[in-house]
């Protein structure tokens, strides 16, 4: 099935280095016509670099790329497109304020006597989307549709403008709901049937098994192996990715049960009828020292709003909150930091890292903010703090002076964690701390949360992955439609929890 005759892309002995990192080491990668080929590996394994080489963003130092058996040098993303290699990134690179049809056909819009022929354009756009089984109003602005539809439009555009033979999808599902993901997979299978080769990068192993034919595993810049997905047991795949087996997850479970004995009886933070009009319904919440409280709920159920309220980003319009029995009056991030509350925000890129600043500056930032403008941390203190957390959290960076934007997503998340641990918080709110992060780092973060709880800190753990919330939390708060609907403590039945999240009556 995948003999050399059907291989459309063959990359051989690709080598690429960046300052301080050998990103790709003699990597071989081949892609056959009409297959969905998953590319998996931990953060920093080299997936993105390999894709950037294939799509002309980066040039390899050595190695050859053959397209349809002919050796090519891919000079730029534009050149890659003209060769029939198209990429759709996680963030959709289209214009949300233009209509769907304009987005699809801009640059090759049908003309009638020096004017754009809008009728034909809209008809063509409709036909293109029908080819992907999508029926939407193409005259509406693209931004009025869901991210999934926008992504589909991006795929459609890639197919239209470059008559793509190879389609690269970089983490396309990370911001999609289950239903939207299914829709995307339908489109992918349809394209596969038309002979298009698809490279699919994802952190979700379920999806690898659901949709891919073959899987290439990368680790530390090298190819570990290429496998037929169907014949590869899941545990083997994880072991291949990590280079070690994952009995750690059981350890975390045990850890949680043990640590539950240390939960304090005195409340650390109490919220009574606290809510924000139009954003989150009033709720009660009590947090104890040494306790991990999980927030479960669907996207948009109010988890993030609750976290932001507790951290003082938003002001409550009703109710009251006390910390150590004293009422809270100053609702602001800096007020929270002074009380010992920390928040790792959900949107790491926009609300977490300060991209152009160094790892060191990002780590000391919150600590410096709590000290004010003039009690300046000396440079040597800054290095000492940064180095300590780089070691403690195993942050993979060439040095503390590396701009944080050069780090992989998981390591950026660790930098944010370090920023907050440096302030020595008593309540740590983690909003989706493991999103877009590989399995190994996920386990690291879960372990860290539990050991912080053991030290007597209180944690709020918010995640879309139910499994993860169950594994790390002593108590689980369920959110639905911007309100707290129930609370579970002790041994929680997953079925019961799911029903609470979905709305239990049915």
Task: For residue 354, state whether it binds other proteins (rule: CB under 8 A).
Answer: yes
Report yes or no: 455 and 424 within 8 Å, Cβ to Cβ.
Answer: no
CB of residue 87 vs other proteins: minimum separation in angstroms? Answer: 19
Pick from 313, 384, 396, 466 the residue near other proteins by CB under 8 A: 313
In the chain, the largest separation of any two C-alpha atoms, in whole Å, equals 79
Query: How far is the C-alpha of 58 from the C-alpha of 70, rounded, in Å?
Result: 20
- In the bound state with other proteins, the residue whose beta carbon lies nearer, of 200 and 420, is 420
- In the bound state with other proteins, the residue whose beta carbon lies nearer, of 218 and 341, is 341
Pick from 228, 376, 424, 455 the residue near other proteins by CB under 8 A: 376
Pick from 135, 325, 373, 505 the residue near other proteins by CB under 8 A: 373
SS3 sequence, 408-446? CHHHHHHHHHHHHHCCCCCEEEEECCCCCCCHHHHHHHH
Pick from 210, 284, 356, 401 the residue near other proteins by CB under 8 A: 356
Pick from 369, 384, 396, 483 the residue near other proteins by CB under 8 A: 369
Sheet holding 427-431, edge to edge: 341-344, 427-431, 458-462, 292-296, 475-480, 483-489
- In the bound state with other proteins, the residue whose beta carbon lies nearer, of 14 and 160, is 14
Task: For residue 57, state whether it binds other proteins (rule: CB under 8 A).
Answer: no
Task: For residue 419, state whether it binds other proteins (rule: CB under 8 A).
Answer: yes
Task: For residue 400, state whether it binds other proteins (rule: CB under 8 A).
Answer: no
Task: For residue 337, state whether it binds other proteins (rule: CB under 8 A).
Answer: yes
CB of residue 412 vs other proteins: minimum separation in angstroms? Answer: 11
Q: Which residue has the tokens 């609702």?
A: 331
Task: For residue 343, state whether it binds other proteins (rule: CB under 8 A).
Answer: yes
CB of residue 402 vs other proteins: minimum separation in angstroms? Answer: 13
Report yes or no: 464 and 299 within 8 Å, Cβ to Cβ.
Answer: yes
Query: How far is the C-alpha of 310 from the C-alpha of 304, rounded, in Å?
Result: 10
Task: For residue 22, state whether it binds other proteins (rule: CB under 8 A).
Answer: no
Query: How far is the C-alpha of 296 from the C-alpha of 478, rounded, in Å?
Result: 5
Pick from 272, 351, 387, 465 the residue near other proteins by CB under 8 A: 351
Among the listed ranges 39-47, 69-77, 108-116, 355-363, the one in contact with other proteins (CB under 8 A) is 355-363
CB of residue 307 vs other proteins: minimum separation in angstroms? Answer: 11
- In the bound state with other proteins, the residue whose beta carbon lies nearer, of 268 and 365, is 365
Among the listed ranges 8-16, 143-151, 215-223, 358-366, the one in contact with other proteins (CB under 8 A) is 358-366
DSSP E strand boundaries for 312-397: 318-323, 326-327, 341-344
Among the listed ranges 113-121, 149-157, 163-171, 362-370, the one in contact with other proteins (CB under 8 A) is 362-370
Long-range contact pairs involving 370-377 (C-beta distance under 8 Å, separation at least 24): 370/334, 370/337, 370/338, 370/423
Task: For residue 380, state whether it binds other proteins (rule: CB under 8 A).
Answer: no
Beta-ladder partners of 86:
167
- In the bound state with other proteins, the residue whose beta carbon lies nearer, of 248 and 361, is 361
Query: How far is the C-alpha of 123 from the C-alpha of 350, rounded, in Å?
Result: 38
Task: For residue 371, state whether it binds other proteins (rule: CB under 8 A).
Answer: yes
Task: For residue 365, state whether it binds other proteins (rule: CB under 8 A).
Answer: yes
CB of residue 452 vs other proteins: minimum separation in angstroms? Answer: 19
Evaluated on CA atoms 19, 25, 30, 31, the torsion sign reads negative
**CA angle centred on 440, ends 434 and 444, rounded to 5°:** 65
Find the length of the chain: 506
Q: Residue 432: which residues within 8 A CB-CB, separation 6 or more? A: 346, 462, 463, 464
388 burial type by CB count under 10 A (0-12 exposed, 13-18 middle, 19+ buried): middle
Task: For residue 372, state whether it binds other proteins (rule: CB under 8 A).
Answer: yes
Determine the 3-state secondary structure of 152 from DSSP.
Answer: helix
CB of residue 336 vs other proteins: minimum separation in angstroms? Answer: 8
Point out which residues bind other proteins (CB under 8 A): 313, 333-334, 336-337, 343, 345, 350-357, 361, 365-366, 368-377, 419
């Amino acid at each position: 099935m995948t003999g050399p005759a059907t291989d459309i892309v063959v990359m051989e002995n690709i080598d690429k280095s960046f300052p301080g990192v050998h990103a790709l080491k003699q990597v071989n990668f081949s892609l056959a016509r009409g297959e969905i080929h998953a590319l998996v590996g931990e953060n920093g394994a080299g997936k993105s670099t390999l894709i950037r080489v294939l799509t002309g963003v980066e040039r390899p130092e050595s190695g050859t790329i053959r397209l349809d058996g002919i050796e090519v040098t891919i000079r730029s993303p534009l050149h890659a497109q003209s060769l029939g290699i198209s990429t759709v990134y996680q963030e959709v690179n289209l214009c949300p304020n233009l209509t769907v049809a304009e987005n699809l056909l801009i640059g090759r819009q049908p003309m009638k006597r020096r004017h754009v022929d809008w009728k034909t354009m809209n008809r063509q756009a409709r036909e293109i989307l029908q080819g992907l089984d999508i029926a939407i109003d193409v005259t509406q602005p693209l931004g009025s549709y869901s991210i999934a539809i926008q992504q589909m439009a991006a795929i459609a555009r890639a197919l239209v403008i470059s008559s793509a033979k190879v389609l690269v999808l970089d983490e396309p599902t990370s911001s999609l709901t289950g239903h939207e993901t299914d829709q995307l997979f339908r489109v992918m299978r349809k394209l596969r049937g038309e002979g298009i080769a698809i490279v699919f990068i994802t952190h979700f192993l379920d999806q690898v098994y659901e949709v891919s034919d073959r899987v290439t595993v990368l680790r530390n810049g090298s190819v570990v192996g290429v496998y037929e997905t169907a014949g590869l047991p899941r545990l083997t795949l994880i072991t291949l990715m990590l280079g070690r087996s994952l009995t750690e997850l059981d350890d975390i479970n045990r850890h949680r049960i043990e640590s539950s004995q240390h939960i304090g009886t005195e409340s650390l933070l109490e919220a009574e009828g606290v809510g924000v009009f139009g954003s989150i319904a009033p709720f009660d919440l009590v947090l104890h020292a040494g306790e991990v409280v999980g927030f479960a709920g669907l996207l948009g159920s109010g988890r993030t709003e609750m976290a932001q309220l507790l951290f003082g980003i938003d002001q409550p319009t009703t109710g009251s909150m006390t910390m150590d029995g004293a009422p809270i009056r100053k609702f602001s991030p800096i007020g929270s930091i002074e009380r010992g509350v920390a928040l790792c925000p959900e949107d790491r890129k926009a609300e977490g890292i300060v991209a152009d600043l160094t790892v060191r500056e990002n780590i000391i930032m919150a600590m410096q903010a709590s000290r004010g403008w003039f009690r300046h941390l000396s440079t040597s203190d800054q290095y000492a703090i940064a180095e300590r957390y780089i070691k403690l959290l195993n942050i993979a960076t060439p040095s503390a002076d590396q701009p944080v934007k050069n780090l992989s997503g998981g390591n950026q998340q660790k930098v944010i964690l370090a920023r907050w641990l440096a302030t020595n918080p008593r309540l740590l709110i983690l909003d989706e701390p493991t999103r877009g992060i590989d399995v190994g780092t996920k386990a690291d973060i879960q372990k860290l949360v539990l050991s912080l709880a053991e030290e007597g800190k209180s944690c709020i753990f918010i995640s879309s992955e139910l499994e993860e919330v169950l594994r790390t939390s002593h108590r689980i708060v369920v959110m639905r439609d911007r309100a707290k609907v129930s609370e579970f403590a002790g041994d929680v039945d997953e079925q019961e929890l799911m029903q609470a999240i979905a709305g239990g009556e049915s």
